[in-house]
């Protein structure tokens, strides 16, 4: 594999850092490929012509060298030669131009698998002899960035997460410049930030923004990947979200800076558990052509071990994978200014060689001990595609976790299922799951909906999924959703059904916001966004623009519901007792414990009442005298005490429950039965007052001791 032009013979350079680094007089290239016999950097000019340069130094399995005269903006790829032994996982093919796994920018048509597929050979036959560039994505040399020091570090107990999709969120927003809709700059628009501040969220969690490709099976159906869980580069921002092609890096940083100025953190949804290359019958665009045994879990015959349901699994116990993942995270946190990460199918990262889950697995330990990353918010999706991967509550001290038990118990409670003891556990921070080993209530990321599954509006409008638009004959997506359509599947013009659905949504969102733990809202739920019953909206037609890709319907936003959510979040923000950083433990600073539970009769729950499945009402007295939160100066916060009442049944008379020693009054502060959450009356109520509830309701009453 000799170079086409010997005039670019590189100087040795250093094996580190990996990737392309601009240095004095040129660019240093370093590519990990320990079993290769030769590695070339292929420089591509504006006319598509290729100039190949051998890297002649190999250190630690890394091929490296400095190529003079090469600077930022240079497009390039990697060719690796070596043995073709697929059953040992070795798939070297110098005819393939590969993406640099450490590239900071990717250029080219990231959705065109037709050209890429023509570039493939039989996965267990002979390698392809094709040498056409086609539409293969190219890596791009970038200049070094000044590290961001603008870190908000919002305390976990004050954090409210808002999950959104960069493309869909502003695709039809009327107050975003048309050229910026569906882009990083769109998310930085003043009107968008104003909406986030109006709601009261403190962090946005972005669905994948690392450059991604569409899976072959999706492409074959005339679709393209919308969500982005198909990574092609762990360092490059997805170019499809740039308003100006090639400007994705500075535009991403502009977005982060704008959100930070508003006091809003940026959390990235990252997909280190698998790549876009799928199984061995899929494409080879990067990792597989350089070091498949180093990057992937492989079986005895060279097949990928699939713990993710996506065709392959990154071997997170391999030194090169650990380096790639931690280098990537440090880049996004340092140079790009990101505040935290949500790890997709994180359990797969904690299963060395695909075995049993270990919270001290190499990459998890590397992340949670890194001096930069330990200052970031770390959130695990604590499962993978296998039964052994379900690990809710089992991650380490540094981690928070998506709590699907919260989602299930709260959904079913408002559908007439889930016992009061289950909903009480979730309301109080899921101590049964997360207590022990020094963990806190905020380790529970509470959510009712997320990107996968029904929206809140669809959760109360559909009993069944309606995923025909995905082109998989409605086979994809979850079959069990804990949803309830209130008598009619889909849209209805029946006023009674419309009101019942609205009341149901308000009860769900109010419960989420007023629960102890970290709430996560899904973008659009605050104004009634619907996906027409599609609970797996991960793909869209291949020719769809961002404005057609499941966009949020800002034109029909329910402004009353926005006011409702804003009011609920304002209550949470103003009341430290409703967002406590430590579990309730019966501690006393007054004459009664920090948490007392009552039934509909105002009587404290006993064992029989906890296990009476007919109970549809639970009252929680939360004492505000010792909430264990602190001001910025370190002084402890105190709060009023609160009575939260949740009732998921029909009309009922209840007696307000309060501790025996309580001699003050209770002021109605929040009422989910009302469209905006504002109570009909704020007249103080005495202990033991009688209330009439007309149906499903969340009430918050503030105590004012006399």
Q: What residues act catalytically? A: 344, 381
Six-digit token string for 256: 């982060």
| Structural contact between residues 274 and 311, judged by C-beta atoms closer than 8 angstroms | yes
Q: What whole-number distance in Å separates Cα of residue 113 and Cα of residue 136?
A: 9
* CA-based torsion, 238, 240, 242, 247: positive or negative: positive
| Structural contact between residues 702 and 667, judged by C-beta atoms closer than 8 angstroms | yes
HEC letters along 637-691: CCCCCEEEEEECCCCEEEECCCCCCCCCEEEEEEECCCCCCCCCCCCCECCCCEE
| Structural contact between residues 120 and 128, judged by C-beta atoms closer than 8 angstroms | yes
Start-end of H helices in 263-354? 287-295, 319-334
Six-digit token string for 454: 């029904």
Neighbours of 436 (CB within 10 A): 9
| Structural contact between residues 625 and 638, judged by C-beta atoms closer than 8 angstroms | yes
Counting Cβ atoms within 10 Å, is residue 705 exposed (0-12), middle (13-18) or buried (19+)? exposed
| Structural contact between residues 17 and 327, judged by C-beta atoms closer than 8 angstroms | yes
Six-digit token string for 413: 């409670």
3-state secondary structure of 197: helix
Torsion of CA 630, 631, 634, 637, to 10 degrees: -50
State the residue for tokens 């909206």: 537
Q: What whole-number distance in Å separates Cα of residue 339 and Cα of residue 343?
A: 13
């Amino acid at each position: 594999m000799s170079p086409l032009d010997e005039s670019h013979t590189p100087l040795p350079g250093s094996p580190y850092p990996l990737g392309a680094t601009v240095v004095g007089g040129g660019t240093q290239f370093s590519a990990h490929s320990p079993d290769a016999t030769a590695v070339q950097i292929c420089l591509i000019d504006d006319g598509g012509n290729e100039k190949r340069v051998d890297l002649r130094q190999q250190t630690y399995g890394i091929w490296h060298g400095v190529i003079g005269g090469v600077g930022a903006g240079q497009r390039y790829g990697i060719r690796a030669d070596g043995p073709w032994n697929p059953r040992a996982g070795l798939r070297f093919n110098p005819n393939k131009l590969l993406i640099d796994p450490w590239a900071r920018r990717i250029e080219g048509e990231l959705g065109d698998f037709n050209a890429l597929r023509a570039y493939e050979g039989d996965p267990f036959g002979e390698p392809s002899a094709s040498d056409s560039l086609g539409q293969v994505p190219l890596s791009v040399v970038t200049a070094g960035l000044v590290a961001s020091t603008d870190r908000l570090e919002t305390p976990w107990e004050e954090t409210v997460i808002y999950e959104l999709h960069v493309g869909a969120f502003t695709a039809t927003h009327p107050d975003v410049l048309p050229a910026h809709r569906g882009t990083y700059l769109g998310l930085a628009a003043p009107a968008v930030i104003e909406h986030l501040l109006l709601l009261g969220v403190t962090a946005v969690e972005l669905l994948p923004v690392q450059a991604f490709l569409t899976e072959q099976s999706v492409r074959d159906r005339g679709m393209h990947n919308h969500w982005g869980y198909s990574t092609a580069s762990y360092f490059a921002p997805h170019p499809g979200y740039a308003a100006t092609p090639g400007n994705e890096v500075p535009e991403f940083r502009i977005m982060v800076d704008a959100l930070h100025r508003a006091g809003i953190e940026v959390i990235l949804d990252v997909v280190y558990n698998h790549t876009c290359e799928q199984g061995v019958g899929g494409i080879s665009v990067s990792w597989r052509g350089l070091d498949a045994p180093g990057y992937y879990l492989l079986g005895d015959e060279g097949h990928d071990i699939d713990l993710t349901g996506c065709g392959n699994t990154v071997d997170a116990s391999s030194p090169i994978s650990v380096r790639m993942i931690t280098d990537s995270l440090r880049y996004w946190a340092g140079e790009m200014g990101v505040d935290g990460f949500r790890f997709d199918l994180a359990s797969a990262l904690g299963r060395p060689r695909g075995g049993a889950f270990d919270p001290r697995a190499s990459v998890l330990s590397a992340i949670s001990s890194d001096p930069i990353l330990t200052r970031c918010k770390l959130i695990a999706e604590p499962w993978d595609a296998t039964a052994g991967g379900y690990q809710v509550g089992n991650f380490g001290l540094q981690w928070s976790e998506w709590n699907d038990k919260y989602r299930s118990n709260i959904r079913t409670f408002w559908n007439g299922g889930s016992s009061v003891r289950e909903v009480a556990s979730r309301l109080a921070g899921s101590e049964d799951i997360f207590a022990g080993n020094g963990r806190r209530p905020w380790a529970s990321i509470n959510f009712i909906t997320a990107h996968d599954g029904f929206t809140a509006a669809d959760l109360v409008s559909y009993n069944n999924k309606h995923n025909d638009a995905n082109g998989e004959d409605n086979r994809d997506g979850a079959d069990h959703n804990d949803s309830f359509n209130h008598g009619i599947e889909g849209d209805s013009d029946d006023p009674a059904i419309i009101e019942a659905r609205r009341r149901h949504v308000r009860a769900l969102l109010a419960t989420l916001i007023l629960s102890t733990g970290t709430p996560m809202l899904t973008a659009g739920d605050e104004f009634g966004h619907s996906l027409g019953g599609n609970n797996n909206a991960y793909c869209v037609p291949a020719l769809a623009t961002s404005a057609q890709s499941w966009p949020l319907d800002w034109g029909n936003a329910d402004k009353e519901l926005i006011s409702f959510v804003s009011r609920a979040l304002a209550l949470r923000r103003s009341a430290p007792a409703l967002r406590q950083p430590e579990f309730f433990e019966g501690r006393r600073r007054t004459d009664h414990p920090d948490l007392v539970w009552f039934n509909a009769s105002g009587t404290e729950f006993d064992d029989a009442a906890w296990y009476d499945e007919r109970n549809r009402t639970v009252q929680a007295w939360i004492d505000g005298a010792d909430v264990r939160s602190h001001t910025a100066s370190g002084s402890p916060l105190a709060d009023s005490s609160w009575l939260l009442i949740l009732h998921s049944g029909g009309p009922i008379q209840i007696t307000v429950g309060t501790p025996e020693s309580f001699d003050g009054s209770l002021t109605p502060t929040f009422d989910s039965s009302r469209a905006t959450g504002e109570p009909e009356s704020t007249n103080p109520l005495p202990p033991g007052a009688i209330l009439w509830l007309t149906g499903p309701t969340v009430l918050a009453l503030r105590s004012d001791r006399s």
